[in-house]
Amino acid sequence: MSSFFRFHERETSYKQETIAGLTTFLSMAYILIVNPIILSQAGMDKGAVFTATALSAIIGSLLIGLLSNYPIGIAPSMGLNSFFTFSVCIGMGIPWQTALTGVFVSGILFVILSLLKIREKIINIIPKDLKHAIAGGIGFFIAFIGLKNAGLIVGNEATFVAIGDFKSPVTLLAVFCFILTIVLMVRGVKGAIFYGMVISAAAGMLIGLIDKPEKIVGAIPSLEPTFGEVFLNIDQIFTPEMLAVIFTFLFVAFFDTAGALIAIASQAGLMKNNEIPNAGKALLADSSATVVGSVLGTSTTASMIESSSGIAAGGRTGFTSVIISACFAIALFFSPLLGVITAEVTSPALIIVGALMAMEVKHIDWGKLEIAIPAFVTILMMPLTFSVATGIALGFILYPITMLALKRPKEIHPIMYGLCIAFMGYFVYLA
């Protein structure tokens, strides 16, 4: 096992990988609660979605760990489950069964693109500075999510955002968790993020801020209400409306996953010569999980940016993903316990990991405007638009433009020009 996952080469151990897997799982566990809540608003059965969410995470995380040897967790994407429910089902009036078929078709297209190594090729031709910008931008983005979930940053009509209410007990719990984790990290405690979350959850229950679970073990809900519904609506996807939906699923998932993969590989020190080893296998695992998940009854899966918390805890190999998969399997039986992993407990981890990922910006050549401006826009627009894909798209548009302005077109791969035009078309479509 140690040889298969190359523990010696990546300077890791069973203990380090296990702690990393547990850390990532705790950071991702909210998806088991939130995904059923969001998709149920589209008319789907909560229990069936819970089981489908867990099973897709089990399969996806196991596949990416065994095929690519990356410490990444895969689960239904938070952005795409909201798009599925609020834009497609509620906004466009498309039944969830048909929308799920759209997810299935986009997943099949993903698998084909992965097998043909088109996705891998696109990721590897991204300029080095933009790769660092994507990694750093995702750091700012997840830190913003953490600040928002902790109540440290709130909405404000006059200024858009403002400082939160420090009289709120749950916000104070998040601050306690944040400071505790920082202290453990700067003192060099391995698995500091994991220990910080566990201690904070225990403290929250002790003082009554987090409800204690009424029971430990719960029955696994049936998949019957959602399983196989995708095959009953294939004939309904060949409409302009549904083709646009499929394209959006394809576009957002492609670049969300690409961004996460670049950020995670960079953070873990796995990127070599500006390329990500085994990227094709990682992308194949991700797209296969989307196909399986849609058949089971959940929206598009993606490589979770929360995986960076496990990497910060020491995860370096696919054994971390195996542990994540095992945790999701156990969670099927212990669903009542998941309620103690609240936003106040996980959000400080996201803030800290965001800081670690933001360190990638030091590798950007800030002395050159043709690089600095596209990189800056990529970083800034991820948190401001609440979308990794949008930040990447804007950077991909600006970078070729700045290089053309300097009459250096040959320094840009032809695929980058194609993506620049495609993204321009995408924004025209959105408008």
Higher pLDDT residue, 124 or 368? 368
Q: Averaged over 415-431, what is the pLDDT? A: 86
pLDDT value, residue 330 = 92
| 35-50 confidence digits (pLDDT tens) | 887 788 789 998 899 9
Q: Averaged over 2-16, what is the pLDDT? A: 92
> What DSSP letter does each residue of 197-222 carry, written as one string?
HHHHHHHHHHTTSSPPPS-S--PPPP
Does residue 236 register a pLDDT over 70? yes
User: Exposed, middle or buried by CB within 10 Å (0-12, 13-18, 19+), for 153?
Assistant: middle
Does residue 113 register a pLDDT over 80? yes
C-beta of residue 378 within 8 angstroms of C-beta of residue 133: yes
Does residue 92 register a pLDDT over 80? no
At CA 84, angle to CA 345 and CA 116, rounded to 5?
A: 100
Q: Which range is least confidently modeled, 46-60, 231-245, 388-402, 413-427?
A: 231-245
Structure tokens at 179: 């400071």
Does residue 191 register a pLDDT over 70? no
What's the mean pLDDT when you consider all of the chain?
Answer: 87
Which helix (H) or strand (E) segment is 153 a member of?
strand 153-156
C-beta of residue 282 within 8 angstroms of C-beta of residue 70: yes
The closest alpha carbon to 110, from 140, 142, 74, belongs to 74
Place of tokens 């909210």: 30
Q: Averaged over 261-277, what is the pLDDT? A: 79
Residue 79 binned pLDDT confidence (cut-offs 50, 70, 90): low
pTM: 0.72
Rounded CA-CA distance 283/288 in Å is 8
Alpha helices in 69-95 (DSSP H): 78-82
pLDDT value, residue 228 = 92
pLDDT value, residue 64 = 95
C-beta of residue 218 within 8 angstroms of C-beta of residue 334: yes
Residue 126 binned pLDDT confidence (cut-offs 50, 70, 90): confident
Q: Averaged over 280-307, what is the pLDDT? A: 90
Rounded CA-CA distance 397/403 in Å is 11
